[in-house]
Structure 1
Amino acid sequence: MIELNDDQRALCDGVSAVCKRFDDEYWAECEREARFPHEFHKAMAADGWLGVTMPEEYGGAGLGVTEAALVMHTVASHGGAMAATSSIHINMFGPHPIVVHGTPEQKARWVPRLVAGEDQVCFGITEPNAGLDTTSITTFAKKVEGGYRVSGRKIWTSTAKVANKILLLTRTTAKADAKRPTDGITIFYTDLDRTRFEVQRIPKHGRAAVDSNMVFIDDVFIPEEDRVGEEGKGFTYLLDSLNPERVLIAVEAIGIGQDALGRAARYARERNVFGRPIGQNQGIQHPLAERWIALEAAWLMAMKAATLYDTGRPCGAEANSAKFLGARAGYDACLQAVMTHGGMGYAKEYQVERLLREVLVTRLAPVSEQLILSFIAEKVLGQPKSY
């Protein structure tokens, strides 16, 4: 998909209209105060954008990853960067295990509240000693009467300071006792009661407006009705949302990069040194032009991956490639924007230093560049598995 249809253009215009109500000063203030952008989240919910991919019978629009990508790209390109995207990102495909594997009663109970913005959910997946090796998580859910008692640790759990729900990945069978490493993993969607879950904020390089946290879980009871799908099948359920997440991260990075590139191009036209605009110098023009080319190429790969996913075709290589290319292109564009501004690029006034700090995380998460390259080498080029 390259050319947007009328409905998709209307979607982008509608999201853009919301984003334009929140200017640079709003996002700078959220960062200074390390304050979650509640007003933005509420505005997106009020206009129905949190339910783009949710089923229509539960108040959503029932659209695909292509439309979710268009929403997130539009949000990213309007100055809010990762603070804006991260405030709503998990709504796009994070709850997909609920939609696909939840019971009708669970979906009726949970999904409409997510669509309306009445509930906010965080994703409890990563652990301090497991990292990207998800099968090595040790957070354990022990079966007891009426439910499970859960203990463990999670790290990099975004929005756990403001969320009231958590999608929690646990083990119900120890890895050593499972037939396969991917067996024995169970997902829960439950209340995040901060009197029972201890949440400690992690100070970060960027995206101060959206909290990242350590979560300590010590003998917390979770009722059986909060388990998603079958016990022990959670890893396969998690796979439902991995490729869409890679596409969304890619387009978010691309949007931030395009925002930064636009600011740099404008500054290059307006800034005069030695009696001429600095943009007249090829030393300024050429790096900016290269960044535009890279961003456009990454966008095409992201849209290819989204189209493959929405038409039910394999897209693992394309989704991972989009994430790799998008994050690199976005980061390089933001860095060049700072360099184009010179000394003022290092100042907060022009915002590009904030965009650079925020886009960096897309190169680190949710999957590293090195693991993507290993995946492509193995799955596409037929090389022996290296990890």
Structure 2
Amino acid sequence: MIELNDDQKAIRDGVAAVCKRFDDEYWAECEREARFPREFHRAMAADGWLGVTMPEEFGGAGLGVTEAALVMHTVAGSGGAMAAASSIHINMFGPHPIVVHGSAEQKERWLPRLVSGEDQVCFGVTEPNAGLDTTNITTFATKVDGGYRISGRKIWTSTAQVANKILILTRTTARKDVRRASDGMTIFYTDLDRSRFEVKSIAKHGRAAVDSNMVFIDDVFVPETDRIGEEGKGFSYLLDSLNPERVLIAVEAIAIGQDALGRAARYARERSVFGRPIGQNQGIQHPLAERWIALEAAWLMAMKAAALYDSGKPCGAEANGAKFLGARAGYDACLQAVMTHGGMGYAKEYQVERLLREVLVTRLAPISEQLILSYIAERVLDQPKSY
């Protein structure tokens, strides 16, 4: 996809109109106060953007990953960076197991409240001792009368301080007792009741406005009606959302890089040293031009991956490649923006230092650059598995 069609342009413009109501000072204040951008979240919900990928019968728009990517690209490039993106990111892909594998009753009960913003959900997958090896999780759901009792630990669970629902991946059969490591895992969608779940915030490098947490789960009862799909099939359900998430992370990183690049270009035109604008110097021009090229190339890869996904074609290599290229291009652009500003790039006034801190997470999550390279080597270049 090179050019947007009229409907896609309308999505971009509609989201941009909401984002324009939240300026740099708003996002800087959320950052200083480590305060969730609730006003922004409500505004996006009010205009229907939280339901872009949700089925129309439940209040959503029923659109694809391409349209979700346009929403998230616009949001992340608005100045809000990952604080803005992360406040609504999970709505774009997280509920997919419910959409695809939930019962009719579950969809009716859960999806409209997610679309309207009445419910906020966090995603409990990663664990302290499992990391990227998701099949090695140990959070366990034991079957009891009427449901399950769950115990375990989750880490890096975003928005758990403000969410009232949690989508949680557990084991229902120990890894040693299954034929394949990916078997025996089950997904639940349930109330995040603070009297039953302990949620502790993690102090971190950036994106202070959107919390990341440790979640402690000790013998929490979850009714069987909160289980999504079949017991033991949870990992395969999780796979439905992996490629869309990689595409969305890619476009968010690209957008933040483009925002930073625009700020750097303006500063280079306006800042004069030794009687001339610094942007007149090729030492300033060329690195910025290279960052533009890298961002545009990453955008094309991300849109290719989205188009493949929406047409039902395999897109694992493209989605992973987009995440790698997008995160690298976004980070490099933000770093160059700070360097272009010189000393002022280190000051909070010009915002680029915040953009650099926030974009870094896209290189780390939800999958490392090393695992992406291993995936491409194995699946595309037919090399032996290295891990």
Q: TM-score range by the shorter chain?
A: over 0.9
Q: Report deviation, 1:147.
A: 0.2
Distance in structure 1 (CA, Å) of the matches to 2:168 and 2:303: 30
Distance in structure 2 (CA, Å) of the matches to 1:257 and 1:110: 35
TM-score where L is the length of structure 1: 1.00
**1:9 and 2:16 correspond:** no
Summarize the alignment of residues 300-379 of structure 1 with structure 2, pairs less than 5 Å apart: 300-379=300-379
Distance in structure 2 (CA, Å) of the matches to 1:267 and 1:171: 52
Distance in structure 1 (CA, Å) of the matches to 2:71 and 2:2: 16
Residue correspondences, number: 387
Displacement over 2 Å in runs of 4+: none
Distance in structure 2 (CA, Å) of the matches to 1:363 and 1:237: 25
Number of the residue aligned with 1:221: 221
Distance in structure 2 (CA, Å) of the matches to 1:22 and 1:286: 32
Number of the residue aligned with 1:23: 23
What is the one-letter code of the residue matched to 2:185? I
Number of the residue aligned with 1:196: 196
Identity of aligned residues (%): 88
Distance in structure 1 (CA, Å) of the matches to 2:140 and 2:104: 26
Distance in structure 2 (CA, Å) of the matches to 1:177 and 1:37: 44
What is the one-letter code of the residue matched to 1:122? C
Number of the residue aligned with 2:73: 73
What is the one-letter code of the residue matched to 2:78? H
What is the one-letter code of the residue matched to 1:269? R
Number of the residue aligned with 2:162: 162
Cα deviation 1:228-280 (Å, max 9, x = unaligned):
00000000000000000000000000000000000000000000001000000
Number of the residue aligned with 1:180: 180
Q: Report deviation, 1:2.
A: 1.1
What is the one-letter code of the residue matched to 1:316? G
Instruction: Please state whether the residue corresponding to 1:323 is helix, strand or coil.
Output: helix
Root mean square deviation, CA, Å: 0.3
Number of the residue aligned with 1:211: 211
What is the one-letter code of the residue matched to 1:350? Y
Distance in structure 2 (CA, Å) of the matches to 1:194 and 1:336: 43
Instruction: Please state whether the residue corresponding to 1:195 is helix, strand or coil.
Output: coil
Distance in structure 1 (CA, Å) of the matches to 2:182 and 2:281: 56
Structure 1 gaps, min length 5: none
Distance in structure 1 (CA, Å) of the matches to 2:206 and 2:113: 30
Q: Report deviation, 1:380.
A: 0.2
Instruction: Please state whether the residue corresponding to 2:312 is helix, strand or coil.
Output: coil
Number of the residue aligned with 2:239: 239
What is the one-letter code of the residue matched to 2:17? A
Cα deviation 1:300-357 (Å, max 9, x = unaligned):
0000000000000000000000000000000000000000000000000000000000
What is the one-letter code of the residue matched to 2:251? V
Distance in structure 2 (CA, Å) of the matches to 1:357 and 1:139: 31
Distance in structure 2 (CA, Å) of the matches to 1:149 and 1:76: 38
Instruction: Please state whether the residue corresponding to 2:122 is helix, strand or coil.
Output: strand
Q: Report deviation, 1:103.
A: 0.2
Q: Report deviation, 1:220.
A: 0.2
Cα deviation 1:212-233 (Å, max 9, x = unaligned):
0000000000000000000000
Distance in structure 1 (CA, Å) of the matches to 2:180 and 2:12: 44
Distance in structure 2 (CA, Å) of the matches to 1:254 and 1:139: 34
Number of the residue aligned with 2:37: 37
Distance in structure 1 (CA, Å) of the matches to 2:198 and 2:86: 22
What is the one-letter code of the residue matched to 2:165? K
Instruction: Please state whether the residue corresponding to 1:327 is helix, strand or coil.
Output: helix
What is the one-letter code of the residue matched to 1:72? M
Q: Report deviation, 1:195.
A: 1.1
**1:59 and 2:59 correspond:** yes
What is the one-letter code of the residue matched to 1:113? R
**1:145 and 2:145 correspond:** yes
**1:252 and 2:252 correspond:** yes
Q: Report deviation, 1:179.
A: 1.4
Q: Report deviation, 1:175.
A: 0.2
What is the one-letter code of the residue matched to 2:129? N
What is the one-letter code of the residue matched to 1:84? A
TM-score where L is the length of structure 2: 1.00
